[in-house]
Amino acid sequence: MLKAYANYDNEVSYVQGMNFIVGLLLFYIPADEESVFWCLHQLMQKKNWRLVYTHNFPKLKSMTRLLEKRMQREFPRVLAHLKENYLQIEGTFSPHFMTLYVYLTPVEIATRMFEIFLLDGDIALIRVLLHMIELK
pLDDT in tens, 60-110: 999 999 999 999 999 999 999 999 999 999 999 999 999 999 998 999 999
User: Against a cut of 0.85, is the pTM above it?
Assistant: yes
Counting the structural domains of the chain, the total is 1
In tens, the pLDDT along 14-24 reads 999 999 999 99
Q: Do 67 and 131 contact (CB within 8 A), yes or no?
A: no
What amino acid occupies position 17? Answer: G
In the predicted structure, residue 8 carries a pLDDT above the cut 90: yes
**Distances from the Cα of 103 to the Cα of 21, 59, 72, 83, angstroms:** 9, 19, 26, 24
* Domain hosting residue 23, numbered range: 2-135
In the predicted structure, residue 136 carries a pLDDT above the cut 90: no
- Residues 119 and 122: their CA atoms lie apart, in Å, by 10
